[in-house]
Structure 1
Amino acid sequence: MAEAVGPIFLVMPEWQGSASSRAMQLADGAALLREDLPPSSRVDVAVPAHAGDALGTPIARLSSVLAARDSARELLRAHEGPAITLGGDCASTLAGLERAVSRDPGVAVLWFDAHADVQHPSTSPSGAASGMALRHALGEGGSDLNAAVAVDPSRVLLVGTREVDPEEAVAIAELGVATVPPPGDATAAGNDSSDAALAAQVAAWLADCGATSVYVHIDLDVLDPAEFASVHTPVPFGLLTTELITAIRKAVAAAPLAGAAICEFAPASASAAAEDAPTVLRLLAALLSGGAK
């Protein structure tokens, strides 16, 4: 029997896809996470230092987002194991997700995010690539950033999404993307029963779509702001850490991990980093708790 190939960790301090005026805090967050990863399986993605140019499109800083994505694509070609991307905005997920879909058409995508990320370049209010990340993964965005191998929208589950633009709501319905809203007010949730309920919904959806592997995208703003503060766009009434961890563990127990991304770690201070970094590491441990594809 062939020996399983271990995961690799792509440290990708991409900030150019963010709409925040404090976007470069993402690079600081990536540097902090990098120190907690094993050097033998850690890979640094070259991200341009400059903001970049829109290249005549509605997508802000597109040249730098493309350069970072292409750098990640090249690095991924040299590795066999599942790749977990850490430290960037939501557009940093694109190379790893594209790879997972190209390697296994039966992969299912769990998109844990307070935002749907299906804005279209032609109507996005900010022009930020982060808010269009899932749209481009589905092959429904701008031609430059669209995935070479698109995700089937019927194999995507939005979990914890609670801030959706009207045009995004239309796109979600037309594309047939499934959704699981947050269990409810975080002050009333967070017990064993709410943790298990969300995990059961995720596992049932994976079974229904016949997932042969799973890709897990995590924007940390899916967590309730009372649980996790180091994000640029906190949205009330999100998931509790225990709910998210339990759902991830259930997912990777149900289907092998094809890849993942943990995005938008943006600590505003050393004290915020010290408080929130352990949560990121707990999520990483949950991703690695099952098998690998």
Structure 2
Amino acid sequence: MSKPVFLMMPEWQGSASSRAMQLAEGAEALREDLPASATREVPVPLEAGDAMGTPVARLSSLLRARDAAREAIVELGDAPPVIVGGDCASSLAGLEASVRAHGADRLAVLWFDAHPDLQHPSTSPSGAASGMTLRHALGEGSPDLACEAPIDPALLTLIGTRAIDPEEDAEIERRGVHVLDPVSIAGVTDPEQRPDPDALAAAVRDRLADSGAECVYVHVDFDVLDPAEFSAVHEAVPFGVTVAQLTAAIRAAVASLPLAGASICEFAPASASAAAEDLPTVLRVLAALTSGTAR
């Protein structure tokens, strides 16, 4: 398998935040540290776009960005696409392409995210596409965004997910989605105790081994991290995973199975100083993601 290629996609239109444009600022900060030879730009509309008569906010711009990402991925050939710099909905083109390339029954999806992103457009409180990403990846939701090549829920794993609304909880149960709770896995009862990163990494290895998958797609929304370690997100959620846990788990995943693709989302620094403070963590995650030796 070829080396991964970074697709810089500063999409913000899928975010529910009033500060969504900070995603573009985060992408700009990250761009300078990505290797130019292994980075491609995905054009994202400047305008917000409109809902096109649907419950999905800014749908017109989201569709244009997704189509541009699809074209960019085709041009990569067999190189795994690593989509960076946008909201969670930016991952849809990469997920769909990975299913087409490898087959839904062979693609494990690891979803490192504080939210399950399983909202349905008809009941979403915000209309933001980011909160519907996995619903669309599973082939449901808005017909315009629903993946024609959906992922297999049996091979989907939520990791670090802790902000779940009732409808999403019901969807997780209905589809039998596997959930890894890093707190339970680490067995930490003392808030002063640091969890062992290897515990989550081992759980990820076991999950991938049991899945029977032949390759893995890794999605990271930085709100999966504990706010004490990473603040450059729109909606910080307490009691997240540590940077050490996240990077160890990703390294375990890509050492276990070849990387089919990835999406690194929601780096939204509020200022240049905030970007400088949290950028090293983003780069650590990218280094973990590209460390795989599995073939």
Same fold (TM over 0.5): yes
Contact kept in structure 2, 1:183 and 1:189, CA below 8 Å: no
Residues 189 and 74 of structure 1: CA distance in aligned 2, closer, same or farther (over 3 Å): farther
What secondary structure does 1:251 align onto?
Answer: helix
Which residue of structure 2 lines up, in the alignment, with residue 59 of structure 1? 56
Which residue of structure 2 lines up, in the alignment, with residue 76 of structure 1? 73
What secondary structure does 2:203 align onto?
Answer: helix
Residue 15 of structure 1, CA deviation: 0.2
Which residue of structure 2 lines up, in the alignment, with residue 94 of structure 1? 92
> Which whole-Å CA distance do the structure 2 matches of 1:252 and 1:96 have between them?
17
What secondary structure does 1:201 align onto?
Answer: helix
> Which whole-Å CA distance do the structure 1 matches of 2:36 and 2:151 have between them?
31
**How do residues 117-196 of structure 1 correspond to structure 2 at under 5 angstroms?**
117-183=117-183, 187-188=191-192, 190-191=194-195, 194-196=196-198
Residue 101 of structure 1, CA deviation: 1.1
Residue 285 of structure 1, CA deviation: 0.3
1:201-256 deviation per Cα after TM superposition (whole angstroms, max 9, x unaligned): 11111111112000000000000000100000100000000000010001111101
Contact kept in structure 2, 1:87 and 1:265, CA below 8 Å: yes
> Which whole-Å CA distance do the structure 1 matches of 2:290 and 2:246 have between them?
14
Residue 292 of structure 1, CA deviation: 6.5
Contact kept in structure 2, 1:218 and 1:261, CA below 8 Å: yes
Contact kept in structure 2, 1:10 and 1:86, CA below 8 Å: yes
Which residue of structure 1 lines up, in the alignment, with residue 10 of structure 2? 13
> Which whole-Å CA distance do the structure 1 matches of 2:261 and 2:146 have between them?
19
> Which whole-Å CA distance do the structure 1 matches of 2:176 and 2:193 have between them?
28
User: Counterpart of 2:124 in structure 1: which amino acid?
Assistant: S
What secondary structure does 1:207 align onto?
Answer: helix
Contact kept in structure 2, 1:257 and 1:291, CA below 8 Å: no
Contact kept in structure 2, 1:203 and 1:250, CA below 8 Å: yes
User: Counterpart of 2:90 in structure 1: which amino acid?
Assistant: S
1:264-292 deviation per Cα after TM superposition (whole angstroms, max 9, x unaligned): 00000111111100000000000011137
> Which whole-Å CA distance do the structure 1 matches of 2:263 and 2:194 have between them?
24
Q: Does 1:271 align with 2:273?
A: yes
Residue 189 of structure 1, CA deviation: 5.0
User: Counterpart of 2:227 in structure 1: which amino acid?
Assistant: P
Contact kept in structure 2, 1:140 and 1:146, CA below 8 Å: yes
Where do 4+ consecutive residues of structure 1 move more than 3 Å?
184-191
User: Counterpart of 1:52 in structure 2: which amino acid?
Assistant: G
TM-score normalised by L of structure 2: 0.95
Q: Does 1:229 align with 2:227?
A: no
> Which whole-Å CA distance do the structure 2 matches of 1:111 and 1:20 have between them?
21
Which residue of structure 2 lines up, in the alignment, with residue 253 of structure 1? 255
Residue 190 of structure 1, CA deviation: 3.3
* Percent identity for Structure 1 against Structure 2: 62
What secondary structure does 1:87 align onto?
Answer: strand
TM-score normalised by L of structure 1: 0.96
> Which whole-Å CA distance do the structure 2 matches of 1:187 and 1:32 have between them?
33
Contact kept in structure 2, 1:10 and 1:45, CA below 8 Å: yes
> Which whole-Å CA distance do the structure 1 matches of 2:170 and 2:221 have between them?
22
Which residue of structure 1 lines up, in the alignment, with residue 291 of structure 2? 289
